Amino acid sequence: MKPISTALCSVGMSGTVFHAPFLLTHPGFRFAAAWERSKNITAEKYQDVKTYRDYHEMLADESIELVVVNTPNVTHYELSKAALKAGKHVLVEKPFAPSVEECMELTSLAKEKNLVLTVFHNRRFDSDFLTVKQVLSQKRIGALREAEFHFDRFDNNLSYKVHKETVMKGTGCLYDLGSHLIDQALVLFGWPEAVFADIFAMRPASKVDDYFELLLYYPGFRVRLKASYQVREALPGYILHGDKGSFIKTKADVQEKDLQSGQMPNRVKWGIEPDAFSGLLHTEEDGALIRKNIPTLQGNYNLFFDGLYQSIREKQLPIVHPEEATAVIRIIEAAFESHQQKKVIHLKEA
């Protein structure tokens, strides 16, 4: 296995929690460089990793094969475009880019250059989501009638990251948490027919949205996606009702918490939730009503990096296609249009 020499565009929270641990432990990658304009976090935490003060100087390093663009959302397009033009494969943090037009341009550029371009929709590999996906694939609640996904937090304070609280395209709860929920809905249910949205800045000091509710219209069922920063007692992350029964699952994936505590993702028992958070299945099977807990599958963000390695070294399709990540932004743009016009927006085919 020839490791992919990789550079990070930021060693802040995203870099040190969600990317560096995998680049350091996955045999398919080598954490080679990082871009820091003034700080020295790289030198202090990762002694064998080179620090670059200038982004274009880092791109000129011919040994670098992959660039992770994990900077503020508004910079995703510009930095990804520069990396692709420099002949680098690119992994972009979600959301892909602030606009569909920018996403499409980056996708076309990657194809033109024959480079891998993918987006870090890591929540596809959360333990809770993988379990919901399995229950649905096994049709244990029958034909789906209604699904409700929540990603709730409680925080009255504005983020210390000024770029997250500045009004511009690409900021706010819908782009941040909404990208995860929309991607999960599209993975499970495909492209919806229409969307209706309510988007709101709920905290008195907030200038960007910190609450949203999206209703996605599908033939025969509805999907509601909701997030808020004003929920102290969170509802279950996944509530699904079918014509035979229901499945309810708490959002309890442990990977982010373990990564934040400094644990490395190379343990055998990585990504295993406590049994207390197993989902509840109440349904009909073989003519009898059952109500029982369903064991939660193991979460594992390593699966994303496995797929990324295979797409670069073995020329397989990316585990997250840029077209899929663009579809997320299409929904977000339609949601803002729905909110502004206070009406259902019918969607064209993705």
| Predicted confidence (pLDDT) per residue in 74-131, tens digit | 999 999 999 999 999 999 999 999 999 999 999 999 999 999 999 999 999 999 999 9
Q: What is the CATH architecture assignment of 123-298+331-346?
A: 2-Layer Sandwich (3.30)
Q: What is the chain's alpha carbon radius of gyration, rounded to the nearest angstrom?
A: 20
Q: Do domains 4-120 and 123-298+331-346 have the same CATH topology?
A: no
Determine the 3-state secondary structure of 45 from DSSP.
helix
Give residue-wise pLDDT tens across range 25-60: 999 999 999 999 988 999 999 989 999 999 999 999
Share of the chain above pLDDT 90, in %: 89
pTM of this structure: 0.96
| Phi, psi dihedrals of residue 29, rounded to the nearest 5° | -135, 155
Which letter does DSSP use for residue 291 in this model? E
Cβ atoms 90, 31 nearer than 8 A: no
- β-pairing, 144-152 vs 117-120, is unpaired
Interatomic CA distance for residues 259 and 81, integer angstroms: 29
Q: What is the distance between the alpha carbons of residues 119 and 93, in angstroms, rounded to a whole number?
A: 6
pLDDT in tens, 119-128: 999 999 999 9
What CATH class does 4-120 carry? Answer: alpha beta
* Domain boundaries, given as residue ranges, for the chain: 4-120, 123-298+331-346
Dist CA 49 CA 5 (whole Å): 11
Least Cα distance to 305 among 6, 94, 86, 104 occurs for 6
